[in-house]
Structure 1
Amino acid sequence: MYSMISLFAGVGGIDLAFEQTNKFKTVFSNEFDKNANRTYNQNFNITCNPEDIHELSTDNIPKADILLSGFPCQAFSVAGYRKGFEDERGDLFFETLRFIRDINPQVIFLENVKNLVSHDNGNTFKVIREALISHGYHIKYQVLNAKDYGNIPQNRERIYVVGFKNKEHFKNFVFPDPIPLTKSLKDVIDFESKIDDRYYYTDDKYQFFPILKESIIDQNRIYQWRRKYVRENKSNVVPTLTANMGTGGHNVPLILSNHGIRKLTPRECFNIQGFPENYHLPDVAISHLYKQAGNSIAVPVVRRIADKIIEAIEECNDNLEKEQITLF
């Protein structure tokens, strides 16, 4: 069993994906957001550390084989201000780097928005890559879309960075190949059941409802209200879930259910991220749950990468054993 440290753990999506391989176990996690921390603690056997990472010393952190970090991506996101390291959130990568330096894990796994690669003409990612290399890691990275690599009906592109101290492990590692998308919207969204009224759009609650009613006519589509018009997503997948889905406004995914036009529930958002049905959502404001789902990761994509990491390590171990047998 390989030990893991999880930074910016959120609700534990990355931890969950790695633990699903039955080869990894989280020994320490940190998440400053109190609501995400609460959700994490209801689903894992360890207590997530709630401290601000800037104040968190590495002295009492256990050593681990792998370090996970989904450091906040707003500073590099299209939805953010594109300030990169000038944004105060950009320094959170360097907090990750501090832990990498002090813990010295054999493997590192980082996740971020795909714009990280192109931000500031590539200079931001160049700094990150060179910093990791300077600490002795051999790096591979790739942008993967959840609909192409996780069999999840969501258009969600993220960059995944994997680093190895062992050069043979690095050589063995390959990112997973694309797989067919066989799951449909109805596998993750309940179009049939009547749910709480607060999720439905009605004439008395929204003045633009007549436009919604005229435009939202197909149960095989996801729609979005774009301030003045309805956007129909014709790809039969959910657009990228965001952290601000619960704050109202435009771009909230909408569906036509058997009982009317409504937005997705938090549980459906977690479904769309690939969380299992037995993943527990605490009794907190739904705006917090939307934020947690939007900030999380596509679990099946990360699970497939974790499998590939195991293959890379164990292929090397198998070859070493064969060499030792040959010697004797």
Structure 2
Amino acid sequence: MVSEKQESLLSVDDAADSIGVTKQTVTRLIREEKLPAQKVGNKWVLREEALRDYMRDNNLVPEPKDHGCLMSEKPGIVALSFFSGALGLDLGMEAAGIEPLLYCENDRKCRMTIQAMRPQGALIGDINQYSATEILQMAGLESDAKVDVMFGGPPCQAFSTAGARRAFDDARGNVFLKYLELASEIKPTYLVIENVRGLLSAPYAVERHGQPVKGGALHVILRKLEEAGYSVSFNLYNAANFGAPQIRERVVLIGKRGESKAPYLTPTHECDGQHGLPPWKTFGEAVGDLKARPMQHTDFPEKRLKYFRMLKEGEYWKDLPVAVQRDAMGKAFELSGGKTGFYRRIRFDRPSPTLVTSPTMPATDLCHPTEDRPLSVEEYKRVQGFPDDWRICGNVADMYKQIGNAVPVALGEAIGRAIIGDMNGDEPDERFADFRHSRYRLTNDETWQAPVAR
């Protein structure tokens, strides 16, 4: 008979599975005496209580296993969320009235966040491991159930202008194709795809072309959606136009089954006041009442911090004394382009620049306007629209990454409102027919030119 004492002991593998790290990491934590353990024979074992204490102290929850929907009552609109991350898009959709039955996310720390904040929804991992039938089952739906909305932002690195841009030849691009395949089988009335601006120009080889052509990836996506029975509207949207205190431009495609297209999103704010809307929300408005609260943040290394101390609100490396610019920039000094992200202090009276996964990366610095530190996790949450009490699991770096990768909640709500309005038969507001959603040209389904004949 196994004693109660023996039952409470966990192996290194068990601990690694629970906290979402490798067993080598657990062994290191034990040797550094950060995780209490003892040796039994030649193996380390841990008490459950010690592991619980470690997870509490390090903002972790046990990594959840894939599980079905636990909701006792199903929402009136049947929706499924993919590439869910920290649930920024989901929170926006919820605010509009669209609550998903299922979340799909493979990242361990994001899965912990989802489990901590939305444990009743179904949760699945690798999208490639599930069929359409299995996904519906996990969501608590019959195999022939009508799904109203599928939404998600497939990993964008394959299309980012900052990356190698391998599009569908990248494993992350392939999950994009899997998402489209599932949509063609599940047949939601509306299909939402959120992605980076680079999707508009990402090269890919298409029929009758031996070499990749600019915009080929989007051409492939549009063709597949058309073959699946969708009419597609898309645009490049600045989240600031929907109430986010952040300049963040993202492509949003909305596929609608049938011959009619979904409308463009309706703005709520604007930069220049031409349409009588309120001005963009500023960083100062978003974070003004956080001053007295404790802040979690990383720090700039001292060798860089000394240059930040020379800069005022809204300044960047070119505002440093000329004599120190080359020393501050190092090899980057010789790079072409504006390099506006180097040694950048943001402004209180403007929306924040696009949040990135770390505010201390040299080319995309996000320094507080007046304090000698990066933006804090709490400020990141305000800028993206997460509630103050929204738990993001993991350490500070994990939190920055999850929040920085998220869709601004305000943009998600605008997407949800557009879909709800179209469901209700609302006509688009003609006041915004000429609204400039982005600073770029040729960025919507009416003006974007496919590189080859459709």
Taking the aligned partners of 1:296 and 1:49, their CA distance within structure 2 comes to 18
Structure 1 residue 161, shift from structure 2 partner: 0.3
Residue number among 252, 266, 269 corresponding to 1:176 in the alignment: 266
Residue number among 102, 113, 119 corresponding to 1:39 in the alignment: 113
- Deviations, residues 128-157 of structure 1 (Å, cap 9, x unaligned): 01111110001000000112x222221110
* 2:302 alignment counterpart: 206
Helix, strand or coil at the partner of 2:391: coil
- The 5 Å alignment of 1:50-129 reads 50-62=124-136, 63=145, 64-120=147-203, 121-129=214-222
Residues 85, 91 of structure 1: 8 Å contact kept: yes
Residue number among 364, 367, 376 corresponding to 1:251 in the alignment: 364
Q: Return 5+ residue gaps in structure 2 as ranges.
A: 1-75, 137-144, 204-213, 271-278, 319-327, 331-341, 428-454
Structure 1 residue 112, shift from structure 2 partner: 0.1
Taking the aligned partners of 1:212 and 1:126, their CA distance within structure 2 comes to 44
Taking the aligned partners of 2:426 and 2:389, their CA distance within structure 1 comes to 35
Taking the aligned partners of 1:151 and 1:280, their CA distance within structure 2 comes to 22
Equivalent residue pairs, number: 303
Residues 145, 155 of structure 1: 8 Å contact kept: yes
TM-score normalised according to structure 1 size = 0.83
Q: Which has the higher strand share?
A: 1
Amino acid at match of 2:94: E
* 1:241 alignment counterpart: 355
Taking the aligned partners of 1:255 and 1:167, their CA distance within structure 2 comes to 48
Q: Looking at both structures, which has the greater relative contact order when contacts are Cα pairs under 8 Å and sequence separation is at least 6?
A: 1
* 1:304 alignment counterpart: 414
- Deviations, residues 191-247 of structure 1 (Å, cap 9, x unaligned): 73374586455xxx51232211111x22xx37689845624557823221122447x
Higher CA-based Rg? 2
Residue number among 380, 391, 396 corresponding to 1:269 in the alignment: 380
Residues 222, 255 of structure 1: 8 Å contact kept: no
Q: Which moved more, 1:124-133 or 1:176-185?
A: 176-185
Structure 1 residue 79, shift from structure 2 partner: 2.5
> Kindly, what percent of the aligned residue pairs are identical?
24
> Structure 1 pair 252/195, CA: closer, same or farther in 2 (3 Å)?
farther
> Structure 1 pair 5/21, CA: closer, same or farther in 2 (3 Å)?
same
Taking the aligned partners of 2:222 and 2:418, their CA distance within structure 1 comes to 21
Taking the aligned partners of 2:107 and 2:122, their CA distance within structure 1 comes to 11
> Structure 1 pair 256/165, CA: closer, same or farther in 2 (3 Å)?
closer
Structure 1 residue 75, shift from structure 2 partner: 0.6
> Structure 1 pair 95/239, CA: closer, same or farther in 2 (3 Å)?
same
Taking the aligned partners of 1:89 and 1:227, their CA distance within structure 2 comes to 33
Residues 75, 84 of structure 1: 8 Å contact kept: yes
Taking the aligned partners of 1:141 and 1:305, their CA distance within structure 2 comes to 11
> Structure 1 pair 101/198, CA: closer, same or farther in 2 (3 Å)?
closer
Taking the aligned partners of 2:293 and 2:389, their CA distance within structure 1 comes to 21
* 1:326 alignment counterpart: none
Taking the aligned partners of 1:75 and 1:107, their CA distance within structure 2 comes to 24
Work out whether 1:141 is the aligned partner of 2:255: no
Structure 1 residue 7, shift from structure 2 partner: 1.0
- Deviations, residues 250-276 of structure 1 (Å, cap 9, x unaligned): 42300144xx31111122112111223
Taking the aligned partners of 2:239 and 2:178, their CA distance within structure 1 comes to 27
Structure 1 residue 45, shift from structure 2 partner: 4.4
Taking the aligned partners of 2:344 and 2:317, their CA distance within structure 1 comes to 5
Residues 81, 152 of structure 2: 8 Å contact kept: yes
Taking the aligned partners of 1:316 and 1:192, their CA distance within structure 2 comes to 42
Helix, strand or coil at the partner of 1:115: helix
Helix, strand or coil at the partner of 2:100: strand
Structure 1 residue 36, shift from structure 2 partner: 0.7
Taking the aligned partners of 1:268 and 1:285, their CA distance within structure 2 comes to 16
Structure 1 residue 124, shift from structure 2 partner: 0.7
Helix, strand or coil at the partner of 1:312: helix
Taking the aligned partners of 1:196 and 1:175, their CA distance within structure 2 comes to 34
TM-score normalised according to structure 2 size = 0.61
Q: Return 5+ residue gaps in structure 1 as ranges.
A: 318-328
Taking the aligned partners of 2:365 and 2:192, their CA distance within structure 1 comes to 30
Helix, strand or coil at the partner of 1:159: strand
